[in-house]
A and B are shown apart, each in its own frame.
Chain A
Amino acid sequence: MQYRTKATVMDGEAISRALMRIAHEILEANKGAGNLALVGIVTRGATLAEMLAARIHEIEGVTVPVGTLDISFYRDDVAIRPNPEVHTTNIPFDVEGRDVVLVDDVLYTGRTIRAALDAIMDYGRPCSVQLAVLVDRGHRELPVRADYVGKNVPSSRKERVRVLLEGHDGVDAAEILEVEGGE
């Protein structure tokens, strides 16, 4: 199925501002960065986690540990889904007792986050797990909500929401895509 861009809902500046706001919100909610760790869900969530860590350092002067999490093996649709490209999980710190902020690009059905929660628990027992997403597009299928949201983007199930990041795509943007030739 071919998709075309229907609308750009966030440009580079909007993403940068949203990440700065989320960084402030995280610091406020957790009373600083002392017990914080960020875990980005690969691939773009991992990049966003690095971007958030840089802003937290800018605000607080603290280097927050950052890990990456691949949830491929925790998905609930392995049996019906072609194998996704697998990436290596790298959590170079002990999650035990930490306030872990999961970071992802788009929150949709909540199934990725359910898988990420299972995965993170296999590394230890965090004090808390919070969720930061750049875009929340709705259509939840599980009782999952984000603690920190860059932008709420109402969308149709027929559409796709795509986040582009400079490290991967050469540009920072969030777009709604529609099926080529659709109504």
Chain B
Amino acid sequence: MLSSRHIIDIRDLTTDDIMSILDTAESFKEVNERRIKKLPTLRGRTVINLFLEPSTRTRTSFEIAAKRLSADGVNFSASTSATVKGESLADTAATLSAMACDLVVVRHKYAGAPRILAKHMDAHIINGGDGMHEHPSQALLDLFTMRERAGRLEGLTVGIVGDIAHSRVAGSLVPALRAVGATPIIIAPPTLMPARPDVLGAEAVTSLDEVIGDLDVAYMLRIQMERAEGMPFPSVREYSRLFGMNETRLAKMRSSAFIMHPGPMNRGVEISAAVADSDRSVVLNQVNSGVAVRMAAMYLLLGGEGGGGAA
């Protein structure tokens, strides 16, 4: 069992919790490679995916995870939720509680929404991404992928490159890396750097080329092209030239170093197509790990609170 009833912030989890999730995910990874990818583990439990912001990969990943554990999954999207009719989040929580669900995965455009749900519900809550705050399950699957590729987490130097100021991925990944003994470095132009990088707890650098040779992992964040008009840099092209991962930069990295990206990728902006498709990229491993890690998180949250046992 985990020490926390919810996974809302990565800081809700102790280092032991994080390692427990990663170790349990190893077993689920094996399940996902079987012919019959289904376990009876969470039969009779109800998992609600409350996605009040667009999402494809995270929602699908959680949905598959719940199905593979035999949980009953129900999906609410922004368009099907009563929140569009003006229902408050507290009322949504009360409604879901009345349906006796066991776990709610919530994605919301406002930071703090999962915490409000947790306050008003008995169910376990997993934060599937809230505003610019956190995305803890993404950080967990990223750690899993790093450990799988590098064989360790402790001592890794991970450069997180891009829009750090607005990134919930970075918001979870930086403390997660620190918790497992890795060294995060945040790399961004000054205009995409948080006002207080020291609060995040990582060394802040404004030149990717300055540190590229020191990195074991380059984690490229997505530039939100839908916001490119209002982006605080002169042009996407210039950003790509200074902070994009391309073959020239990849050649300057350690031979064991690899590239990550939370997806969806803007090929040619933060990562070139050649790098994205190379064997140094573990982007698809991240997607593959996502299901196993989310299965582990659900299993460990919904595990029992009492004794008993078979033999």
The total of chain A residues at the interface (CB under 8 A) is 30
> B residues within 8 A CB of A122?
34-36, 38
Query: With an 8 A cutoff between CB atoms, is B178 at the interface?
Result: no
Query: With an 8 A cutoff between CB atoms, is A143 at the interface?
Result: no
Q: Are A78 and B308 in contact (CB under 8 A)?
A: no
Q: At the interface with chain A, which of B20-28, B195-203, B236-244, B281-289?
A: B20-28
B311 to chain A, nearest CB (A): 3
Q: A75-B310, A108-B311, A115-B310 are in contact. Are A88 and B304 (CB under 8 A)?
A: no
> A residues within 8 A CB of B307?
80-82
Nearest A residue to B25 via CB reads A86
Q: Are B310 and A78 in contact (CB under 8 A)?
A: no
Partner of A73, one of B299, B306, B311: B299
Q: Are B311 and A123 in contact (CB under 8 A)?
A: no
Q: Are A86 and B27 in contact (CB under 8 A)?
A: yes
Q: Are A81 and B304 in contact (CB under 8 A)?
A: yes
Chain B 17-51 interface 0/1 with A at a Cβ cutoff of 8 Å (1 = within): 00000011011001100111011111011000000
Query: With an 8 A cutoff between CB atoms, is B300 at the interface?
Result: yes
Q: A88-B26, A88-B27, A123-B34 are in contact. Are A76 and B303 (CB under 8 A)?
A: no
Q: List 10 A-B contacts (CB under 8 A).
A: A72-B27, A75-B310, A81-B306, A82-B1, A83-B24, A83-B300, A83-B303, A89-B27, A108-B310, A111-B311
The 6 closest A-B pairs by CB, nearest first: A111-B310, A108-B311, A83-B303, A80-B304, A73-B41, A73-B39
B residues lining the A interface (CB < 8 Å):
1, 23-24, 26-27, 30-31, 34-36, 38-42, 44-45, 69, 299-300, 302-311
